[in-house]
Amino acid sequence: MSTLTTSLPGGTWTLGDLEVSRFGYGAMQLAGPGVMGPPLDYEGALAVLREAVTLGITHIDTAEAYGPHITNSLIREALHPYPRTLHVVTKVGADRDDQGGWTPARKPDQLRRAVEENLETLGLDVLDLVNLRMGDAHGTVPGSLAEALETLTELQQQGLIRHLGVSNVLTEQVAEARSIAPIVSVQNMYNLAFRQDDGLIDSLAQDGIAYVPFFPLGGFSPLQSEELSAVAARLGSTPMSVALAWLLQRSENILLIPGTSSVAHLRENVTGAALMLSAEDVAELDTIGG
């Protein structure tokens, strides 16, 4: 299936016609505190991005709202001109206010501006994959995404976007999106303890659509459970390594984008995700999410 050589755990996955490493990198943590402003360690942020590519990561996730403008600019400074095999995925649908809050930005003019800003800050003529972010800062919200996705489809037809995805969406919104345009990925909150999308992951896998969990390690509240700690201790590993490995083994269509601002932590994540869990380990871990 794969023509791309990588030693990263999980191998590769094809997003439309783009082959990417299943182990990717999420750039959100490169911005300053609260995902606002420049990084506390500017050179360190550039080093993390360069190390990601050195390790073989070919899938970097970002958004113009991170900073805002910060992570995209860092990615460009660190990696442009981009290696042919590297694919940068971004998202639109949310802006930041002066207090760092997240505000919906899904009107046609807002989405067009967001796509143009992503192209400019990343230094690209076309965006490989754009995810439409729905919901709000607290999670998914019911409602139609038709107008917003149709706008992105128009931009795709104009040659500014290669592939489309959706983020922070309910199952019925995924179905609506797929009725409007081909969708190559769904990016939702999912981890060992938060498993509301189990059924969606399985159905997407059957159709060859990627599922990209955000907050794979629990987000701002790291995963904690007796079962997770017990499995990690038995394997001589760490709870976070076990959590990443579990995601990769959960389904072949799951792509990981754990974020970090530390080169050492990035390497630890890659090593940890390669951990092989037994059926006994998985059965014990599955009790966490019910």
Boundaries of every domain in the chain: 12-286
**Which residue from 171, 173, 195 is spatially nearest to 246, judged by alpha carbons?**
195
Catalytic residue among 66, 82, 190, 211: 66
What pLDDT, on the 0 to 100 scale, is given for residue 221?
A: 65
Nearest to 134 by CA among 118, 111, 154, 153: 111
The CATH class, in words, for 12-286 is alpha beta
> What's the whole-number mean pLDDT along residues 20-40?
96
pLDDT for 224-264, tens place per residue?
889 999 999 999 999 999 999 999 999 999 999 999 999 99
User: How does residue 30 score in pLDDT terms, banded at 50, 70 and 90?
Assistant: very high
For the segment 109-147, what is each residue's pLDDT rounded down to a tens digit?
999 999 999 999 999 999 999 999 999 999 999 999 999
Roughly how many angstroms between the first and final C-alpha of the chain, as a whole number? 33
pLDDT tens digits, one per residue of 255-274: 999 999 999 999 999 999 99
Report pLDDT for 290.
55
Q: What value does the mean pLDDT take over residues 28-52?
A: 97
Asked if 25 is an active-site residue, the reply is no
**pLDDT for residue 222:** 74
Distance (Å, rounded) from C-alpha 282 to C-alpha 238?
Answer: 15
| Higher local confidence (pLDDT), 218 or 239 | 239
- The pLDDT score that the predictor gives to residue 123 is 98
- Sorting pLDDT into bands at 50, 70 and 90, what band is 4? very low
Mean pLDDT of 17-36: 96
pLDDT, tens digit, for every residue of 52-71? 999 999 999 999 999 999 99
User: Do 247 and 216 contact (CB within 8 A), yes or no?
Assistant: yes
| Residues 72-90 pLDDT 10s | 999 999 999 999 999 999 9
